[in-house]
Structure 1
């Protein structure tokens, strides 16, 4: 589970508002500045397609610097002509500015064109037309940019039918000192496109997701509209989106926004009940499912709510340019919503909004900054246009806050949280977490002065475990709690919550001669369920299944990730001299066992000195201090074995449900699937998946001629298949980039596995030498992410380091804590994905992670204040990884 820190700010939802106007040398009346807006990083680009500086309606684009919206420069087509409508669409990202001119006549009357500029120098890099351009196509009606792709909508282009529409994808480079645009890579059309669908009227892209609107599609009646989601890199159509309540004339798909893996689609003539007020629909790009329908508060027919839409993280902004603000007819407005619930944050209407201004014709969000266009504003002449900036907009935090730094410690009199530690969550979204606390000194003094008995004073390093099982946040066990036997808790920690049946954690008791607690028996493992807190095992207590030997220490504690099995796995050491059946000594003082959450021993065979079942004379020797429990009830552990020769050998032992222990493999055993003479060395980690397939990482040895060297002597196995070997190339397209080391691995659903690996080779450096891979069901590897990868998060950033990963083996959900290549205020993020989505071929994109939380993002906190995320952490012990 993710832990985070929020810094309170003394601000309510009252954004600072500024107003921006365009510039013109030939009068501004009719220019409609503000009808198109794009923002990224330090730039804001605003189109005025009816600017007359060059010729009537030749068009122009104004570029402004960042949130200050200070004027930078004006772009006009060097070959502009009347009615070109240069600026009818615009996209800015990094150092690239793309401007559409749908009325350009170079390839035929209104065939359209797109101009590409380096925005920091204003240099024209290219003028693009479609490879199969034709008169009336209106190429450039819409444009979008990602870090390496330029997308152009051509809604009246031919793709199997007249005016069915198409989209063209070009290669580009937006970052670095030499921005560029390359060749046309592909033309994309709808798989079911029809005459006059206007596919490409709107386009939006984020990372590898491309969304295309077809507002005149007739699936739900004439002009009901639709939208399509594609893999931008392959051109594969993933989904066709239509609203659950679509109808004729709704024009769904007129506007689009994509952020991370969400798609917001505008339908400006959709109905809310009987009135065609307009609506916006939120969809998952990963599943295609409709998540929310956003409708205006107090809207009326003809408001055109959904004419423009924009997404940024947890916020959605929707424009309604013909909303009537009181008596101000068609003055317009914009609505801000928080996601994923779709709750209204507020309406954004400036104080000088006037009838007919058309506020909301264009909207754009970036972080907590919004810009709204009013292209019919009359400040500089009739319909000259303007735009408003809103800084800072924010919504409520999208997660439930359990405890907070500086707040009271729930159910602890006079306790204050000083540090939030590990936090875990089970399949029922219930949490188990640890935190440190201290006394609230002022409260303690006040209680003492009133004559009330003072509460116990917390020691300096006091800790506690809390859970929200049952709804409220309740204290489970904490420093100074007294157990039924009189023992006092000193500290608690290491929570694991992999089952809705119970969670587990560890505790240390204060030594006390009066209740018999000393250093040999002061540690314990506890389970917590909705009804009880119970000891699972305690050091110093004789265990009957181990011949009354007493546990000396717990090397590893795990819990099966299961909804039906909450067994606890313990890798242990035993206290020398204890035991009645056999006295514990150096030859039998380690092992691994499984217990129920109530402390009943389920399996304790894997103890040092015990015979290995069905092994013809082998015995368990020193345990490695590791144990793994799959959800099915199996067990895996690693230890030395004796009886295979004159010296002990390392081995991995497994046990499936209703079966006995078996030796899965052992040292010097031939390495399956590798060249003859290659042998198993020392196992570095092992686990079982839900079907009890053994997954393990091991070193390799080999005789002369086997080819084993120091550069390829490590391998990761999935069952009998060597999936990733040091020195092998994960991607055949990059044979010079090879695995250097396998860092960690996790089982996934079915035959999937996720692993983190170091790379070396051509082009590999410290900024891109770590990657996360999925072994798919078909056995092939698919890279989920790599350091150096670009990611969309209010503009683009790059992954600097992959810091921590966690995987849910049951359903394929995975989460990554990563540092980002950005300033210190925004350089951490939590990403997540799901490997159960998509498939092994055309829809792999759906399995990629997206940024969910980012350091530096503002949210509404207590009434009248805002809070900013200043830290993120991901617990390291929530699942059974190896």
Structure 2
């Protein structure tokens, strides 16, 4: 009689259930079929994976239903367990409602869809703003339907509470169309918001338009007042840049061809009644003519009180080198602007794009040159000028990033308010090596045109190509930065100043209706009461990529 052998199943530290029993005896060479986990074996914190000839998993792996050939000895099959992890939601001091429950168990590297506030969590006096891996908000930020990748540990997501009750209002033009780029430029001051739609087609292809909205209630706005360039031709892109101060709106049309191909033109409009704008003043650098080439006068604009500043990145010096320029104008009476002051950098070289961004506040003007090479190719710089009398500007100061590197594009966006300047570097890489995640730098004035080394801010959820800082704005104690590629949809981030040039993250702003390539945050603006955010790729009733803007209170 031939010898026979047995197959025994071992739970391998199971915490519940029973092992299957194989009562058969097998001669050498006979076929053995692996049994199912009929006794519902379980082990806390693990999921059943199959069977293995070694307890430590180093042997042969078998799953239910497969077969093997019996050898010359008894066989013990050990349960094989795979570690699993959980996601738990924490109300973080909530006063009512309930946290979402995720009862699933996940293996490492599993993709998890983050829950929304389905249980209507509330906290007295505060606004729910999403989830964070740290209770104090210093971890990774997640919103409803974001994707989380499971690590080798359990995850707790804490509700985040914001002391501001943000209200969202979405606006778009009433005559828009596909690819208008409505929201390419935005600004807000008092009861008025101004929005550029540089590819709108009112008279000629891509001639552009600007819409001005008036606040009629707490966060309600009228249907808008539309303005177009006095003389429109193809592709002038009127509305590429906009700004507002009091009763005056300034609009750039950097590809206007009146005085040469892409010479550019800028227009200032005066409000003559409630959201009625007229008395247009047309401006162009006095040294720009048909021989100047593509100066792109109006690629950037800003206005503050009686002073307006205009960037012209293609402006050439006496040696025919494209170093860029900025022009500052003073309002002399009503909507008449003159006393032109042209500013060029003392160390300008070819194609630094001086004038790509401009901002003005009181006696100080800041001008970005994002292709400056002082700290590596395209590391970028910003220049600050002080007004000494009337419209005379000088005492140049040059700002660069304390951690500057090649291709940071520091200076692509700038904003100034009082003693603080914020400069965006949308292609800066962060300390954990996310390429082009972006950063912004806030500088504090310590003396007459003397500025500190700057405070660095960045998004709370850095990823490659987020482009945080492609747009920036500062008002009083708050800074807003756009990140148009965040999670493919875009976001904006608000920071609050807590002490002299010390800033803390306050709020991430998104909208529930965003989709991939909406570019929410491509343009931002900030007033004492509102933030305004452009989303040029947002689809609305006007069509695909028509664009929208969002106003938050």
Q: Is the 8 A contact 1:228 1:237 kept in 2?
A: no
Deviation at 1:170?
1.0
CA contact (8 A) 1:115 1:124 kept: no
Cross-structure match for 2:396: 238
Q: Is the 8 A contact 1:107 1:135 kept in 2?
A: no
**Aligned residue in 2 for 1:186:** 341
1:270 aligns with 2:428: yes
d(CA) in 2 for partners of 1:32, 1:70 = 20
Which residue of the partner structure matches residue 419 of structure 2? 261
| Superposed counterparts of 1:447-466, under 5 Å | none
| Contact 2:381–2:410 under 8 Å retained in 1 | yes
Secondary structure of 1:119's aligned partner: strand
Report the Cα distance in structure 2 between the residues aligned to 1:179 and 1:44, rounded to whole angstroms: 21
What is the alpha-carbon distance in structure 2 between the residues aligned to residue 216 and residue 184 of structure 1? Answer: 29
* Aligned residues of 2:173 and 2:224 also touching (Cα < 8 A): no
User: Partners of 1:312 and 1:364 in 2: how far apart?
Assistant: 9
Q: Within 2, Cα distance between the matches of 1:297 and 1:159?
A: 42
Q: CA RMSD in A?
A: 1.6
Shift of 1:383: 1.1
8 Å Cα contact 1:262/1:285 also seen in 2: yes
**Counterpart position of 1:861:** none
Work out the number of aligned pairs and report it.
372
2:445 aligned residue: 285
Rounded Cα–Cα distance in structure 2 between residues aligned with 1:153 and 1:248: 24
Distance 2:190 2:317 in 1: 35
Instruction: Find the aligned partners of 1:13 and 1:350 in 2 and give their Cα distance.
Output: 16
Q: Which residue of 2 aligns with 1:381?
A: 543
Given candidates 241, 248, 253, the residue that maps to 1:96 is 248
Work out whether residues 201 and 254 of structure 1, in 8 Å CA contact, stay in contact via their aligned partners in 2: yes
Structure 2 counterpart of 1:299? 462
* Alignment partner of 1:130 is 2:285: yes
- Counterpart of 1:369 in structure 2 is 530
The match for 2:371 is: 216
The partner residue of 1:343 within 500, 504, 518 is 504
Separation in structure 2 between the aligned mates of residue 75 and residue 245 of structure 1, nearest angstrom: 42
Is the 8 Å Cα contact of residues 159 and 193 (structure 1) preserved in structure 2?
A: no
Deviations 1:53-89 (A, max 9, x none): 1111100000001353322310011211110000001
What is residue 726 of structure 1 aligned with on the other side? Answer: none
Contact kept? 2:401, 2:454, Cα under 8 Å: no
SS of equivalent residue, structure 1 residue 162: coil
Per the alignment, residue 325 of structure 2 pairs with 166
Counterpart of 2:38? Answer: none
- Residues 296-346 of structure 1: CA deviation (Å, up to 9, x unaligned): 11111111100000111111100000111xxxxx20000111113221112
Instruction: Work out whether 1:31 is the aligned partner of 2:180.
Output: yes
User: Counterpart in 2 of 1:19?
Assistant: 170
Q: Is this contact kept in 2: 1:52–1:58, CA < 8 A?
A: yes
Alignment of 1:778-793 (within 5 A): none
CA distance in 2, matches of 1:356, 1:72: 25
For the 8 Å contact 1:240–1:288, the answer to whether it is kept is: no
- In 1, the alpha carbon distance for the partners of 2:184 and 2:338 equals 29
Aligned-partner Cα distance in 1 for 2:454–2:301: 26
Q: 1:143 aligns with which of 274, 286, 301?
A: 301
Separation of aligned partners in 1, 2:453 and 2:228:
40
Decide whether the 8 Å contact of 1:153 with 1:167 is kept in 2: yes
1:310 is matched with 473
In the alignment, is residue 323 of structure 1 matched against residue 486 of structure 2?
Answer: yes
Shift of 1:10: 4.7
Q: C-alpha deviations, 1:500-543, integer Å up to 9, x for none?
A: xxxxxxxxxxxxxxxxxxxxxxxxxxxxxxxxxxxxxxxxxxxx
| Aligned residue in 1 for 2:110 | none
Q: CA deviation at 1:29?
A: 0.6
Query: How far did residue 277 of structure 1 move?
Result: 0.4
Q: Note if contact 1:33-1:385 (Cα within 8 Å) is conserved in structure 2.
A: yes
Q: Secondary structure at the match of 2:242?
A: strand
8 Å contact 2:402–2:454 — kept in the other structure? no
TM-score (norm 2): 0.65
Say whether the 8 Å CA contact 2:439–2:469 is kept in structure 1.
yes
1:249 aligns with 2:407: yes
3-state SS in 1 of match to 2:223: strand
The 5-angstrom pairing of residues 701-780 of structure 1 reads none
Distance in 2 separating the partners of 1:78 and 1:19: 29
Question: Which residue does the alignment assign to 1:353?
Answer: 514
Please give the alpha-carbon distance, in whole angstroms, between the structure 1 residues aligned to 2:352 and 2:445: 22
Contact 2:472 2:480 in 1 (8 A): yes
Gaps of 5+ in 1: 1-8, 325-329, 392-882
Structure-2 residue corresponding to 1:601: none
Q: Given that residues 166 and 199 in structure 1 are in contact (C-alpha distance below 8 angstroms), is that contact kept between their aligned partners in structure 2?
A: yes
Counterpart of 2:234 (choices 43, 59, 82) is 82
Q: CA deviation at 1:285?
A: 3.4
TM-score in terms of structure 1 length: 0.41
Which residues of 2 match residues 484-563 of structure 1 at below 5 A?
Answer: none
TM-superposed CA distance for 1:215, in Å, is 0.5
In 2, distance between residues paired with 1:71 and 1:162? 45
- Give, in angstroms, the shift of residue 220 of structure 1: 0.9
Give ranges in structure 2 of 5+ residues lacking alignment: 1-123, 127-162
Contact 1:165 1:200 in 2 (8 A): yes
Q: In the TM superposition, what is the alpha-carbon distance from 1:156 to its structure 2 partner?
A: 1.0
Superimposed CA distance per residue, residues 396-429 of structure 1 (whole angstroms, 9 cap, x where no aligned partner)? xxxxxxxxxxxxxxxxxxxxxxxxxxxxxxxxxx
SS in 1 for 2:182: coil
The DSSP-based 3-state class of the residue aligned with 2:179 is: coil
